[in-house]
């Protein structure tokens, strides 16, 4: 229903009023998300059998793909891919901030950095859940989107550091105290478990599966959203741009039909893999794996 406009073949859509599309994510940002979720799925699929290695299914899976050697190799491979993606993102932020002198990157309504309004929005949103007040109007990034971003940011530093500390333990042992060599495994495993449970349940539902976005929010794949979506979901940003007369500058091309379908297939597969892993993780965790 929601994606009707996007999924409809051009001939059919031509009958309807031509809708405007607004750019939310750039192409590199969309690729970054794709690299992020493919490598994350790879890391989760190979990391979980290690975390729950006493679980029978974990062992069966591990033997099926070539034993621990294969699992660890693939885990490290995905880790390098994700590290490169993370470094690319840092470089991108640095370029935008210090080369392009982009305003509002670190502070303000379009920044990823949390501010007082996010706290107000959280409270307001919960009040709305309970029927105690109106629904808050959100800006470019809502508080839960900022949380998703920073959770991943923090997670990459923590899981990445602890992972490399295990990979190159003798080297890291030069600066880390003895107990830290023990702690990195606990930190790596617990933080990864948090990331897996969070992404495959909270992020999936909040961003993709909840009513209004179900089955998935296509904006991260196409980079564009309709005017209706833009206005409803990111009301304050829309209104600010409209008031400043800058709305036209954000207009983009209508997403290509084949690309939308391709993204839907990939996205659905990713979500399904994630949900399967979520169920298995919960079984292993509460089943005493």
Residues near another protein, by CB under 8 A: 2, 49-51, 53-54, 58-59, 62-63, 66-72, 125-126, 128-131, 134-135, 144, 151, 166, 169-171, 173-174, 176-183, 185-187, 190-191, 193-194, 197-198, 201-202, 205-206, 210-212, 214, 228, 232-233, 235
CA distance 187 to 83: 18
Nearest by Cα to 224 from 33, 20, 4, 18: 20
Residues 6+ apart with CB under 8 A from 63: none
In the complex, least distance from residue 100 CB atom to another protein, rounded to whole angstroms: 32
Cβ closer to another protein: 34 or 122?
122
Cβ closer to another protein: 86 or 144?
144
Nearest by Cα to 110 from 248, 238, 245, 244: 238
In the complex, least distance from residue 135 CB atom to another protein, rounded to whole angstroms: 4
CA distance 8 to 1: 11
Cβ closer to another protein: 108 or 215?
215
Cβ closer to another protein: 1 or 99?
1
In the complex, least distance from residue 125 CB atom to another protein, rounded to whole angstroms: 8
In the complex, least distance from residue 197 CB atom to another protein, rounded to whole angstroms: 6
Cβ closer to another protein: 88 or 167?
167
Alpha-carbon distances of 79 from 34, 198, 257, rounded to whole Å? 15, 19, 33
CA distance 64 to 165: 28
In the complex, least distance from residue 19 CB atom to another protein, rounded to whole angstroms: 14
| DSSP sequence for 201-228 | IIIIIIIIISTTT-S--THHHHSEEEHH
């Amino acid at each position: 229903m929601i994606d009707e406009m996007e999924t409809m073949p051009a001939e059919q859509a031509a009958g309807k009023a031509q809708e405007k599309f607004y750019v939310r994510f750039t192409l590199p940002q969309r690729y970054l998300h794709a690299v992020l979720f493919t490598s994350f799925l790879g890391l989760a699929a190979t990391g979980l059998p290690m975390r729950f290695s006493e679980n029978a299914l974990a062992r069966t899976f591990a033997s099926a793909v070539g034993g621990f050697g294969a699992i660890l190799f693939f885990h490290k491979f995905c880790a390098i891919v994700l590290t490169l993606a993370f470094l690319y993102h840092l470089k991108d932020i640095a370029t935008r901030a210090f080369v392009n002198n982009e305003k509002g990157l670190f502070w303000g309504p379009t920044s990823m950095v949390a501010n007082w309004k996010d706290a107000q929005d959280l409270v307001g949103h919960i009040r709305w859940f309970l029927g105690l007040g109106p629904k808050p109007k959100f800006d470019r990034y809502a508080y839960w989107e900022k949380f998703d971003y920073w959770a991943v940011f923090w997670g990459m530093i923590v899981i990445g550091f602890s992972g490399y500390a295990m990979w190159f333990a003798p080297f890291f042992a030069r600066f880390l105290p003895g107990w830290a060599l023990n702690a990195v495994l606990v930190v790596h495993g617990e933080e990864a478990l948090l990331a897996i449970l969070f992404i495959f349940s909270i992020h999936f539902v909040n961003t993709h599966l909840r009513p209004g976005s179900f089955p998935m929010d296509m904006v991260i794949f196409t980079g564009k959203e309709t005017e209706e979506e833009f206005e409803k979901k990111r009301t304050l940003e829309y209104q600010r741009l409209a008031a400043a007369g800058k709305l036209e500058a954000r207009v983009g091309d209508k997403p290509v039909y084949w690309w939308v379908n391709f993204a839907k297939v990939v996205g659905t597969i990713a979500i399904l893999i994630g949900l399967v892993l979520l169920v298995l993780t919960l079984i292993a965790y509460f089943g005493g794996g």
